[in-house]
Structure formats: structure tokens, C-alpha cells
Structure 1
Amino acid sequence: MTEIAAEVLIERLADWGVDTIFGIPGDGINGIMEGLRRQSDRVRFVLVHHEEAAAFMATAHAKATGRLGVCLATSGPGGIHLLNGLYDAKLDHQPVLAITGMQETSVLGTGYQQEVHLDHLYADVAEYNLIVDNPTQLPGVVDIAVRTAYARRGVAHLSLPNDVQVAPATQDPYQHVAPARPPATAPIYLSPPGMPRTEDLEAAADVLNASERPAILAGAGALHAREEVLAVAEVLGAPVIKTLPGKAVIPDDSPYAVGGIGLLGTRPGEELIEDCDTLLMAGTNFPYTKHLPEPGKVRVVQIEADPIRAGVRLPTEVPMIGDAREGLAGLLPLLKPRSDRAHLEKYQRAMDRWRDDMTALQSPERDPIAPQYLMGRIDRAASDDAILTCDSGTIATWAARHWTIRGNRRFYLSGNLATMAPGLPYAIAMQLAFPGRQVIAFIGDGGFAMLMAEFLTAAHLNLPITVVVNNNDSLGQILWEQMVLGFPEHGVRFGRPASDFSAWARSCGGYGRKVTDPADVDEAVRQALAHDGPALVDVNVNPDEPPMPGKVGYDQAVKFAKAFLKGQPHKASIATTLFKDKISQLGR
């Protein structure tokens, strides 16, 4: 049987260690599907129900494993559907390869059916972007695409026309020059040096040693540097703020943890940003500058992997280029141990109060069900190595504050893109990557409805994922954003009665349960976690529970009040919920 170009593509990806490709077949990639069939002993093809989900799964695979994620779509509409998930990879700096089909080369430019020039469409999202028009380009361009995705921490794209896919692998129709032929040995990626320059480490140590009220802001780039972050925090006596994508950097019950900053952050985290005199940023390029210290008020040291991003958020006295773990390890012996722990102890007391406040909101007596209680019961029932995936919206607030990082737990969501709908595809990809671990998707009803067909994907694969739908029958985050802007809510509630997604789960052959009574939450979550296969619990929660910032600013409070005065249609139930929240906290 003659080896075809598409087979070489798949072979070379397998040489790179790719073992899974997510996608949907189509007439624009039939040759690639044949290549996958011929190499099915080396590469698994995961059939999904929407190409957007395939791209989310590839991104999740990259986030969780550190290895290249790969997604596949047909020409035209299939390739278009990938884009949202690919932007998730781009904005969160994850190595992903997108493979798409293209019409036969002889008809390009004629307005042929589904003729969409995906290389043009992907010009913004892809770091490497190529239409393969000669079979002998493979596997050389595969190597370049993979290396680019790793080196630039982003998306690479290869598009293969139909006739190229099925052409003999050695066919060279032009023969102008000899094609580049990579060695037959397994390819390798040589990562750049991870240790910052010695003079930068010394300058950073001087700044940190001179600080009186230091703080550490750790992000997703430091997820592999837990021990180093904790060691530096111990020497400096520095509280540690975690970005939301970096929530698993250190445990939430660590004596150094003060939670996050921003709208989903904690009060101690916000107060620390206002109070610190020196900030060490490790593995983060936190984009929300209004939640960072006022420029010029603090001394800033940053460890950043990308020279382009170093120092772009704040005036940075010492920007260091390197890996967070290696940089912190190199910095550690240069730091002077701090004996005065008053600064750290101040924030430990503040965090004790914050944790009490959050626990008080997890009341089983609240009816309608408080979303904080739902997340708290998931947190209590889940294992110490569980992986939680989360969608965007109010649910990210409940997960940020009530999902406790302990043991080897992990937490993943769409960070900088903050798109809806990745929670379920993320969970599927992570269960495939880590089949022995508990994987839970915490999703709002709005996000789940967008890609709910992927629950059927989980059922076909018999994956033991647990999906918990936080059903407030609204687009909750937008509702509260409208009010903070001083506008009465409009166009954000789907309308009662709330949908019942548990019926969909059962129709797919999975476990499905609808919960409307707080007394049933605990049992339903535990049964779902124990189910040998995909399970879904759809919980009606209080739609008027506000995701309040950790520290409410004066302007926010004024605009919130004005929205009420302008005729907020649900002001009575919202006011009642706010009153119950405060009573719960005062009565703890």
C-alpha cells in the first residue's frame, strides 16, 4: 500500500509524542482521516460533536500535560469553528497545533464550495501558518510547526489541500530544489535556558532584601514551582497572591496564601496590593492593571518567560527573563531571611477572617440554594487529587473562593480569553489525559447549553467525568456587571422554570439528577462522583446571589445603588439575598 502524505503527517506527529487528536471528519480531510486510520496504533482520534470543543480539548490537553495539543477540522466551516478554542490557547500561551483541510489545489481561487482561505483567517491566531502544497514538505514543516508552538507558546496551523493529503508521500511535482529532509530519528525540542542572568538575580535580590512589606504575585507560569514559591515566601515573610489561572500554585490553606485579586479575588489580597512596598511577580503577566499597585508606589521585580511581556504591566525595576521555577531557585540563596513576621502575620489574621466569612456563606439553610453551598459541597466531597474545570461567569467566583487547593488538586479555566463553554470540553480532555483521577466540570447553565452535545461525547467514551451545572437560569455575570455600571438588568434572564439538563444526561446514557432542595445537594454530588461513567447534577441555585468583589469600591457601591433607584426589577429578592449573606457572616 503506497504511503500517502497524510500518513507522513500523522507519523511525524507520533514521533513528537502526540498520542491524541481531537476533531470531526469532513470531506475536506478524508485523506488525513485515512492517515489516522493507518496510524491508529500510535495516535488516537477522539470524535467530538463540535469543532470548537475539539480546539478547547487540545488547549486543555496542553494546559494539563505541558505537551502539544492537536485538533483537526475540515475545510471551510469546520476550520472556522476551531477559532474560539484556538484563541483560548493563544491568549493563555499554550502549544496547540490546528490541522485543517483545503480544497484541491486545482480549484483554489475559483469560488469553489466551502473555499475559505483559512491561512488568511488564522493570520492573527497562529504563530506558524502554512498551506502545504507539496507532499515532500512533510515531515519538515511538521517539525517547524511543532517547535514554533512550543517556543512561542501558541498556535501553529497546517492546512492540507485534498489532493496533497492523498498524494504519494514522495511525490514532488515541481522538483525545483531538493526538499529539506529532517533526520529519521525522533525529533526533539531544545527549550531555551530557564535561569535568568546572574546580574539580574543579584539586582532582584537587592530589591527584595530591602523591602519591608513584600508580596508575591504568582501565576500560571509558576504552577510547576510550588516548592520554590513557598521557599521564597518563607525567607521573605511574604504573603502570596495567586492569579485565578495560577490558583493551584500553592495550597489555599498555606500560611502564605491570601487568595487572589480582581473581581474574583479576596479582601486580604486586595488590601495587600494597596499595602505592599515591593512586589515579586512570578510566572504572571496579570492584565487587569487597575487591580495592581499604583505605578511608582511599589518596587517591582518580575520573572517572565517572554522578553516581550516583561515589564509591560507596571514600571519594573528588575525584569528577569527565565523560567519561574529556575528563577526562584536561583534567587533563593541570595535572599536574606526575615525575622520580623509582623507583615505576614497581619495577612494571616485577615485570611482567617476571610475564610470564616466564606464558610458562613456555605449555609445549607439557604433556600433557594446558595451557589457557595453547592461549590462547598463539591469541595468537601472531591478527592485530594481532583481536577476542577470551570466555565466563565459567576461560577468562576464561586470556584475561586470555595474550591480549595489541597494535595495535588488542580484548577483550569479560560484565563485571558474568559470565554464561555470550555468547562465540559476541558473535563473530557483532562479525563483522557489522566484516566485515574477525578475530574469535575463546574459550569453555568449558559455555558453548558453552548456545547452540551459534548456530554454525549463523554458517554460514547464512557468517561467518568462529573458535571455540576450551577443553574441560575440567567447570564449571571453580565447581570451584575450591568448593575455595577448603574444600569438595571436587561436581557440576561432566560426565564423560569429553569431548564432541566439532567434529562439530557439520562438520554445520553449517563447519570442525571435535578436538585432543587438544599437537603439533596450533598447526596447528589456524592452519587455523581461515585458513578462509573459520565454524571451530571443540575442544581437550581439562587439567581439573585451577587458575586461581590472581595473589596467593594466606593464607585461600585454608588453605581449599584443607582441601578436600584432606576428600577431594578428584582431588587426585593436581591436585597433579601444580600441581607441573608451579611446575617450569615455576622452569625458565624
Structure 2
Amino acid sequence: MARIASESLIERLAAWGVDTVFGLPGDGINGIMEGLRRHQDKVRFLLVHHEEAAAFMATGHAKATGRIGVCLATSGPGGVHLLNGLYDAKLDHVPVLAITGMQETSVLGTGYQQEVHLERLYEDVTVYNEMIYNPVQLPALVDIAIRTAYARRGVAHLTVPNDIQVAPADADPWEHVAPARPPETAPVYLKPPARPREADLEQAAAVLNSAERPAMLVGAGALHAREEVIATAERLGAPVIKTLPGKAVIPDDSPYTTGGIGLLGTRPSEELVDDVDVLFMVGTNFPYTKHLPPPGKVKVVQLEVDPSRAGVRIPTDVPVIGDAKEGLRALLPLLTPHDHVHLQKYQEKMRSWRSNMEALENPKRDPIAPQYLMSVIDDLATDDAILTCDSGTIATWAARHWTIRGNRGFYLSGNLATMAPGLPYAVAMQHAFPGRQVIAFVGDGGFAMLMAEFLTAAQHNLPIKVVINDNNSLGQILWEQMVLGYPEHGVRFNEPWPDFSVWARACHGFGAKVTRAADLTAAVSEALAHDGPALVDVNVDPNEPPMPGKVTYQQAKKFTEAFLRGQPHKASIATTLFKDRIQQMGD
């Protein structure tokens, strides 16, 4: 058979070390599918059930491995479906390559069926975005796309018209200019220097050494720098606040951490932000500025790999550009040891906070407390388990009751905060790490959006575990409405409550429905021990509030106003709040 242009595309992906493409075929990419078929020994096509899930899988793969994730969709609606997952990659700064089909070049501009100019649609989401007009472009443009995705930590996109896909790989119809051809050697991405400039390190050290009440705020950019973060915290006597995407930077039982920040964070972290005189931000561009110190109140040092993000969130006295691990290694010899009086103050606060959280993990509650559900998963999971999570109240329960210890991982949609990635993330990460336990902790709302991907897991023999925090509602929106002072509206689904365990069994996986706390441990244990995909659907208390670590007067005022204006479930909510308070006091 004659070698077609799509083979050139797939061969170049393989040269970059790409071993999997997540996608859904269609008539707009039949040529690319043929290229994949001819080179299936080099690059595997993982067939999914929705293109949005394919993009989430590529994003999850990139987050967990650090290597580029690749997704494939047909022209028109298939390419449109990719967008939500691609925005997740864009906003969380991970390298992803999206490949889409396009109508034949001879009909472009005629309003042909499914003619959506994806290269225009993708302008906002991409760091590199090109249509292929000539087969000989492909190797060079694949190289540029992947290098750009790595360098700019974002989404690259190539769209290939149908006639180009199946044209001879070396066809060059016009031959006006010699085509750009990459060298025959394996392509590489040369990372920019990771060590910050010496002058910047010295300025940063001067500010940090002057601190009396320092704190560190670490994010996903420091996930590979655990030892260096701990060593810096020890040297400075600085408590460490973790962003939610950076939850796995250091263990949750570390004596240096005060846990998370923001609405899903801890009270000690909120109090610490109000107490510091120097804030050291490492590997984070934390977007929720209302949870950071007021501008000008504290001195700020920021170690950030991307120069465009330094100083974006809060005025920064010393921006230091470099990799978190290399930057901290270079900085440590310049730091003078501090006493731990300030740190010890927050260690005591964390002991109290952890005691309060443990009190909410009550197995005697009816309906089941979501805190207890998360604690059961936490107790039974392995020390190298990966937990994926959706957005919503489940993110609160995971943030506070999923304990990072050993080599555990934690992934969710950070800045986009979209629903539905938890399940596709789990599929991609189980594929990337077949020897590790991968658990998707998702809500009923998010699971219902892309539940077909549980079938994907079964069909690809991926033994993911799915635990559904089923409150038959859109729980986070319910509480957000109330904090605005409005009674809830349109956030609870009608009866009957779903039973997703039936779907799991229909997919030839393990499925269990739990409505009583007494049955929970056995069901989760059986699911984790099952040698294939497993799902446990757990009915939890829909009236359990994801309360912020520190309730402000304004939040309490608006919450009260919602009650006074006719909150329809105020009796149940009040009862739940009363139980929470009693348990934290010790029942």
C-alpha cells in the first residue's frame, strides 16, 4: 500500500513517545484512523464514548505523567465536543495536542455539511493552531505543535482536511518552496534553564530571611519538589498552605502544613493568611485573590516558571523565574534558620482542625455523612492510590478527608472547575499507571454527564474504581445560592434517586448501591478488591453543607437571609448543622 499523509502524522507522534491517542472516529477522520490502523503497534487508539471525555483523558494523562496528551475528533460536532476538556488543559497549564478532521479542501467555504472551521473556533484555547494544506507539512508541524505545547504549557491543535489525510505522504502539489523537513533523528524538547538568576535568588533570600511570620503557598507547579518544599519550610519555620491542585505536594499529616486555602480550605490556613508578614508563593498562580493578603499588607516572593504569571495575582516584591525544584535547591543555602515559634502556633491550630474533621466522619449518621464516605475511601485505599475528583461539594470532602500520604496522587479540574472530568481522568490515569489503584470520587451530577466512560473502562480492561457521592442534587450550587441570600431553586433532582450500580453491572463491572452507613465499608472494600472496573453508588445527606474553613459575618448574614426568605429545606439543613456542631464539640 502507498504510504499516506496520515501515516506521516502517526509516525511523528510515535517518534515523540506518544503511545496512546484518546478519541472517537467519524467520517471526517477516516484517513487518520487508517494511519492509526497501519501503525497500531506503535500508537494505540483508545476508543471512548464522547469526545469531551477524550479531551479530559488527554488532559488527565498530561497532568499525571507530565507527557503530552493527545486526543482525536472528527470534523464539525466532534471537534466542538472537545472544547471543554481542552479548556481544562489550557487553564491548568498542561500540554495537550488536539487533532481534528476537516472537510476536503475543494469544498471549504461552500457551507458543506459539518463545515465548522475548527482552527477559528480553537483560537482562544490554543497556544498553537494550524490547518494542514499540504501533506509534506505534517512532520514539521507536528514537531512545532508538540514543542509549543510543552514550552507554553497549553493546547496545540492541528486540523487535517479529508483529502490531505489520504494523499500520498510525500505529495507536494505546488512545489514552489522546498518543504520543511525535520531531521531523521528522534525529536526532543529542550527545556529552558530551570535555575533562577543568582541576583533574584539573593533578593528573595533577603526578604525571606527578614520574615518574622512567614508562610509558604505551594501549588501544582511544586508537585515534583516535595523534599525541597519541606526543607524550605523547616529552614524558615514557615507553615505551608497548599492549593487544591497542589494538595499532593507534601503529605497532609506533615507538621509543616495547614492544609488548603479558600472555600474548600482550612480555618488555620485562613487565619494564617491574615497573620503573615512574608508570603512565599511556589509553583502557583492561585486565582482567588480574596483569599490572599490585601495588596501591600505583606511582602511577597514568588517562584514561578512562567514569567507572564509572576505578580499577576498579588503585587510581588521579588519575582523569581525558574522551576520550583531547582529554584528551591538554589535558594536553600542562602536562607538562615528561623525559630519555629510561629510554626508551632499553627501546628496547634491544625491539631484542633483535624480533630474537628474527624468528628464529622461519623458512621452513625443517617442519612450517610459525605465526610464519612470519604474517610472510608481514605482508610481503605493504598498508599500509592490516585484519587480523581469532580468539581462541587465532593471537592470539599476530598480536600478535607482524602489524606495525602506515601505516594498518593490527587487530580481535579483546577481553574476551569468543570463538572465531569473525574471519570475520564481515572480512565486515562489507570491506562498510564496499570499497577496503581485509581479511584474516581464523583458526584451524581458529574457522573451522569459522561457515565458511558465506565463502559469504556470495562471495554479496555481498566480496573478503575468509581465511588459516587449521590445526593441527588447539584450540591455546590445549592449552597452558593444560599450564601448569596437566596432560597435554593432548581438544584435538586426529582424522585426517584438514581441507582448507578445497575449501569455498572450492565457494563459487566462490579456495582453496589449503599443507603446505610453500616454497609459502606464492606461495599467499598469489595469494590477495591474487584479485579475489574467497580462502582459504588452511595446515597449521602443532601443537606450537609460544605462550610468554608472560616465563616465570615457576611456569609452568615446571607445564609440567614436565605432562611428568612423561605428556604424550602431549612428544617433538614438546620438539623444537619446542629449535628455537625454537636459532633465537633464531642458527643
What residue number does 2:469 align with? 470
Give the Cα separation in 1 of the matches to 2:49 and 2:138: 29
Tell me which residue corresponds to 1:114.
Answer: 114
Q: CA RMSD in A?
A: 0.5
Aligned partner letter, 2:147: R
Q: Which residue of 2 aligns with 1:129?
A: 129
TM-score (norm 2): 1.00
Corresponding residue of 2:73:
73
CA distance in 1, matches of 2:497, 2:214: 48
State the alpha-carbon separation in 2 of the partners of residues 89 and 542 from structure 1: 33
Instruction: Look up the match of 2:512.
Output: 513
Any idea what the Cα deviations from partners look like across 1:98-155, whole Å, max 9, x if unmatched? 0000000000011100000000000000111000010010200100000000000000
Q: Which amino acid aligns with 1:63?
A: K
Map of 1:425 onto structure 2 = 424
Distance (Å, rounded) in 1 between the aligned partners of 2:586 and 2:22: 50
Matched to 1:401, the amino acid is: R
Give the residue type in structure 1 aligned to 2:492: R
Q: Deviations over 1:545-586 (max 9, x none)?
A: 000000000000000001000010000000000000011110
CA distance in 2, matches of 1:120, 1:571: 48
Alignment map for 1:370-519 (pairs within 5 Å): 370-519=369-518
SS in 2 for 1:493: coil
Structure 1 residue 463 displacement after superposition: 1.1
Matched, 1:91 2:63: no
The alpha-carbon deviation at position 342 of structure 1 amounts to 1.1
What is the Cα deviation at residue 235 of structure 1?
Answer: 0.3
Q: Distance in 2 between matches of 1:138 and 1:26?
A: 21
Counterpart of 1:71 in structure 2: which amino acid? C
Question: Over residues 82-112 of structure 1, what are the superposed CA-to-partner deviations in whole Å (9 max), with x where a residue is unaligned?
Answer: 0000000000000000000000000001110
The aligned counterpart of 1:367 is 366
- The separation in 2 between residues aligned to 1:97 and 1:313, in whole angstroms, is 28
2:318 aligned with 1:321: no
Quote how far apart the aligned CAs of 1:341 are.
1.3
Alignment partners' CA distance in 2, 1:40 and 1:355:
50
Asked whether 1:250 is paired with 2:250, we answer yes
Matches within 5 A, 1:107-256: 107-256=107-256
Q: How many angstroms does 1:495 deviate by?
A: 2.1
Partners of 1:528 and 1:276 lie apart in 2 by: 45
Q: Distance in 2 between matches of 1:173 and 1:73?
A: 27
What does the per-residue CA deviation read over 1:342-390, in whole Å, with 9 as the maximum and x for residues that have no partner? 1000000000000000000000010000000000000000000000000
1:580 and 2:573 are equivalent in the alignment? no
Instruction: Output the amino acid matched with 1:459.
Output: A
Separation in structure 1 between the aligned mates of residue 510 and residue 181 of structure 2, nearest angstrom: 51
- Tell me the SS of whatever aligns to 2:535: strand
Aligned partner of 2:22 in structure 1 is 22
Instruction: Supply the AA of the counterpart residue of 1:381.
Output: L
Output the CA distance in 2 between the equivalents of 1:460 and 1:584.
Answer: 44
Which residue identity lines up with residue 204 of structure 2 in the other structure? A
Query: For residue 514 of structure 1, what is the amino acid of its counterpart?
Result: K
Aligned mates of 1:60, 1:173 — CA distance in 2? 39
Q: Which one-letter code corresponds to 1:12 in the other structure?
A: R
Partner secondary structure for residue 564 of structure 1? helix
Q: Give the aligned partner of residue 341 of structure 1.
A: 340
SS at match of 2:489: coil
| C-alpha distance in 2 between matches for 1:525 and 1:357 | 24
**Counterpart code for 1:515:** V
Q: Distance in 2 between matches of 1:495 and 1:38?
A: 49
Deviations 1:226-285 (A, max 9, x none): 000000000000000000000000000000010011000000000000001000000000
Residues 146-168 of structure 1 show CA distances to partners (whole Å, capped at 9, x for unaligned) of 00000000000000000000000
User: In the TM superposition, what is the alpha-carbon distance from 1:215 to its structure 2 partner?
Assistant: 0.1
SS at match of 1:514: strand
Residue aligned with 1:537, SS: strand
Offset of 1:497 from its aligned partner? 2.7
1:478-500 CA deviation, whole Å, 9 max, x = no partner? Answer: 00000000000000000233110
In structure 1, distance between residues paired with 2:394 and 2:274: 27
Match of 1:282 in 2: 282
Q: Report deviation, 1:474.
A: 0.2
- Which amino acid in 2 is paired with 1:76? G
Percent of aligned pairs sharing the same letter = 78
Q: Distance in 1 between matches of 2:296 and 2:352?
A: 30
What SS class does the counterpart of residue 348 from structure 2 fall into?
Answer: helix
CA distance in 2, matches of 1:138, 1:566: 62
Cα displacement (A) at 1:2: 1.0
Deviations, residues 4-26 of structure 1 (Å, cap 9, x unaligned): 10000000000000000000010
Q: In structure 2, how many angstroms separate the alpha carbons of the residues matched to 1:159 and 1:39?
A: 20
**Equivalent residue, structure 1, for 2:353:** 354
Aligned to 1:45: 45
CA distance in 2, matches of 1:454, 1:373: 27
Unmatched runs of 5 consecutive residues or more in structure 1: none
Once residues 30 and 209 of structure 1 are traced to their aligned partners in structure 2, the CA distance between those partners, rounded to angstroms, is 61
Instruction: State the partner residue of 1:260.
Output: 260
**C-alpha distance in structure 1 between counterparts of 2:401 and 2:175, whole Å:** 62
| 1:50 CA drift (Å) | 0.1
1:103 partnered with 2:103: yes
